[in-house]
Structures are given as structure tokens and as C-alpha cells.
Amino acid sequence: MNKPLVAVVGRPNVGKSTFFNRIVGQRLSIVEDTPGVTRDRIYADGEWQRYAFTLVDTGGIEIKSDEELFQDMRMQAEIAIDNAQVILFFVDGRQGVTSSDHDVADMLRRAGKPVILVVNKIDGPSNDAIYDFYDLGMGDPMPISAAQGLGIGDLLDAMVAYFPDPDELEEEDEAIHIAVVGRPNVGKSSLVNMILNEKRSIVSDIAGTTRDAIDTPFERNGKKYVIIDTAGIRRKAKIEDASIERYSVIRSLMAIRRCDVALILIDGREYATEQDVKIAGLVHEEGKPSVVLVNKWDLVDKETGTLEQHRKRVMNNLSFMNYVPTLYISAKTGQRVNRVLEEADRVVENTRQRIPTGVLNDVINDAISVVEPPSDKGRRLKIYYATQVSTRPPTFVLFVNDPELMHFSYERYLENHLRKAFDFSGTPIRILKRQRNNKEDGGR
């Protein structure tokens, strides 16, 4: 799901991060990080009423400052603004209107995006302080106190009013959208150019050349595709905290969310690094099918068994997504690049498949007969019924006597059993548990 992006912007020290942290900490159906997948806490997913969204925290904007720190922070904010559907423009209600607020307002007007003017630090019932902010020409100011939580609900109501109605389904795009993701300088743009047979993206040995997600439609063998070349995601230790590349994560995240399949590139001269694992985890967390492409394989010294040993070490590091196929390629020479679209098509088909309910229950019952469900304190897990509720990714609901009795290891066992019975190569699958009362269970 490609959730609307909401950018929180303003000059320094107006309470943007306080607001962001309050939203993250509130019960707004915030999506937690997958265990083992560390994200920079510059964005968080949430829901308000029926609307899902992604909130992005930005550094303070000082338009006229020549300091490198503020220049970088301004560039970060511009990236968030470019990708945002709605902008929350924060100002300080205690300090009043400043020349910097006017500078930020001018910048936001040029962006041409919906802007909500948020007057923060209004801690009491009197709203007289907000009237001066009409001078910014950004519409009606909304008073809040991020620290005390005052006015947050009204602000969120105003924010989601700009979102599309979630009940209005978008028309199905017949083209397969392919996101090419990975660390900087692993050959993403070279791969895109080789697939397209033309130089659409800048290719350079300088890490971080591609900062935008570049969409290119094309056709191959009668099929329509859109390939998305994303900005490289660099390891945090290699980035200054205020660097523009910290925000490339946002662009890559949005590309992953709107893709049908992700191509995860890693450097064949290394095994899956910590940052490779985090990028793969982001794809897995979003429920997207994927193919791991080990690039620059032409530069690796090989002997008998090199490929299999390399594959084992890579998949050991990516053990949480051992369902993903690997393909060893060279984007520079074209080695096996002709198989990339073939693999992408295959995993897309797998994530879209629907299993008939009768067949599914036969497979689950077979799994139960082989390995008995776990028990705890005299109560044994009973699985009454299974059904598939959605695709992309395939999602199954198990009706059980008590979801708490479903141990993680048994859930993993059921997933592996499903994968043996059906071709789910390349796609994550989801297993949900729902309690169903059954008198025969006797309440035990």
C-alpha cells in the first residue's frame, strides 16, 4: 500500500520532533519495526480514523544560513516536501512570527502542495497568539501543544482531509512495477541501463549519484513494465546525521511500497552486509516479492563450488527471508541479466496466487498429522479451519481455540509446510490467528 506521505517542516526548535515522537508514542495503530530491522526514526507509519499515512520528521530549515549543516538540513526537508502529499508547517506560538518563518512560507508556496499551518506551544485556552500568523499567508493557523497533546486530534482530522478516500480503489495498472534497491554503488543504475538497453540513469563510481527514484516504462515480449531506479541506502556510520543521503531511505521506501517486485542488489565481492540485510528486511516488512541479485560476479575469483558457498553465506545472513531466489549476474557484461525479468515475473505470479480453501485445509491437516500442535499447561492448540483472505502477499487466517498457544516455531513450521506444497518462491506469506469458540473444547 502506497500510504500518503506527510512532511513535518519548519525552522529549528519549533517542536517538530516533539510532535513526531508524540504521534509515534500514541495508540494510532503505529506499525512497529520488524525485529532485527533497524530504521532511522525519521519516519513512522500510522493510522487516523480510516486513513493510513507515513509521517516524516525533518531537520530545521534556515533558508538564509550559509552553514553547511543548515544547507544539508534544508536539502533534506526539500526531499521530504517533494515526496509529500501534505505538509505540516510548524511555527512557535510563544516566540511569534519570525523572518525565518516567512522564508519557510515562501519556500512552501513554491512547492505547490497542501500546507497546514501548525502553531505549536499553545498550552492554554487563549488562542490570541495565533492571529499574528495569518501574516504568513498560509491559511487558518491550527493551535496545538505537542508537549501536552492539545489539539492533536483536530490537526490529524485536517491532515487526513487531504487524503484520497481509502474506499475508492485505484484502477489496476497492468504494468509490473520493478524497484531496484540496494546500497550505493552496487550497480543499480548499470543494471537498469542493461535491462533497458539504453543509458537512462547516470552511471558513476561515486556512491550516491542517483538521489531520485527514476521511473522508466518499457515493454518486453508483449509485457508492460515500469522499472524504478532508487537512491542507494548507505550505512548510517558512513553518513553525517544531517546528510542528504539519510533521506534517500524515504525515496527508496516509497519506491518499494509502490512496486510489484523488488530486485535487491548486493555486491558479489562481499557477502550480504549488515546494510544489505536491513534493505532486504525493509522489502520483507512491506510484504513485497523479491529477487536477490548478486552483482559484479565477473569480478569474483572463482573455483569449484564458489557459487554454492557464496549463496549459502548470503542466505545465512538473510535467513529471515530464505524464500527468496538468488541470481548471480554482471550488470557490466550482461551475464545472466536476461534472466532477471523472467525471475521477476515468476515471483510476481507466486505472490498473486490464491489457494482453494479445500486444498489449503488438506495441507494444514497434513501438517498437523505429521507434527502435533504445541500445548501449554495442559491446553493444546487446536486448528479448526484455514482460509486465504488476500494475495500480494498471500495471507492466510487460521481459526484456532487460543492464538496464544501458537508458538512462533510452530507457525514457522506451518509456513514451511505451505511452501513445500505450493510455489511461494520469492514472496513472503502472512499467517494470522483468530480465536474461534468451540464448545467441544470444553474451555480447556
- Sorted by where each begins, the domain ranges of the chain are 5-160, 176-352, 357-441
Per-residue pLDDT for 215 more than 50? yes
The per-residue pLDDT for 39 is 30
pLDDT band at 46 (very low <50, low <70, confident <90, very high): confident
Least-confidence region, from 182-196, 219-233, 354-368, 400-414? 219-233
Banded pLDDT at 41 (limits 50, 70, 90): very low
Domain 176-352 has CATH 3.40.50.300: yes
Share of the chain above pLDDT 90, in %: 51
| 83 or 175, higher pLDDT | 175
pLDDT at 31: 34
Burial tier of 126 (Cβ tally within 10 Å: 0-12, 13-18, 19+): exposed
Give the mean model confidence (pLDDT) for residues 205-234: 70
Task: Report residue 196 as a C-alpha cell.
Answer: 533497458
pLDDT at 180: 94
Higher-pLDDT residue of 242 and 322 is 322
Superfamily the domain 357-441 falls into: K homology (KH) domain (3.30.300.20)
What CA–CA distance (Å, rounded) separates 188 from 184?
8
C-alpha cell at 372: 502435533
Closest CA to 371 of 333, 415, 403: 415
The pLDDT of residue 304:
86
| Binding-site residues from annotation for GTP | 10-17, 57-61, 120-123, 182-189, 229-233, 295-298
- Spatial separation of the C-alpha atoms in residues 68 and 418, rounded to whole Å: 54
Same fold, 5-160 and 176-352: yes
- More reliable by pLDDT, 431 or 4: 431
Query: CB within 8 A of 260, min separation 6: which ones?
Result: 176, 177, 178, 288, 289, 348, 392
Under 8 Å between Cβ of 373 and 411: no
Phi, psi at 98, each rounded to 5° = -120, 165
Q: Where are the alpha helices (DSSP H) in 62-98?
A: 68-83
Report helix, strand and coil shares of the chain as percent, to nearest 5. Answer: 35, 20, 40
User: pTM for the whole thing?
Assistant: 0.68
Mean pLDDT score of the chain: 83
Q: What's residue 250's pLDDT?
A: 66
> What are the backbone dihedrals phi and psi of residue 45, each rounded to the nearest 5 degrees, phi first?
-90, 140
Confidence of residue 280 (pLDDT cuts 50, 70, 90): very high
pLDDT higher than 70, residue 335: yes
DSSP 8-state symbol, 241: T
Least confident of 169-178, 230-239, 299-308, 380-389: 230-239
Amino acid in the structure at residue 421: A
For cell 509490473, name the residue. Answer: 176
253-271 residue pLDDT tens = 778 888 999 999 999 998 8
Whether residue 185 has pLDDT greater than 50: yes
CATH class of segment(s) 5-160: alpha beta
Lowest-confidence segment of 57-66, 139-148, 193-202, 241-250 by average pLDDT: 241-250
* Binding-site residue ranges: 10-17, 57-61, 120-123, 182-189, 229-233, 295-298
User: Any idea which residue has 511555527 for its cell?
Assistant: 91
Task: Give, for 52, the enclosing helix (H) or strand (E).
Answer: strand 51-57
Q: Is the pLDDT of residue 241 over 80?
A: no
Instruction: Give the rounded percent of residues in the chain with a pLDDT score beyond 70.
Output: 79
CA atoms within 13 A on the CB side of 102: 6
- Max intra-chain CA distance, the chain: 78
- Looking at residues 214-235, what average pLDDT do you find? 78
Per-residue pLDDT, averaged over 414-440, amounts to: 89
Rounded to an integer, the average pLDDT of 209-222 is 72
Residue whose cell numbers read 548486493: 266
pLDDT value of residue 441? 46
Quote the CA–CA distance of 416 and 403 in Å, as a whole number. Answer: 19
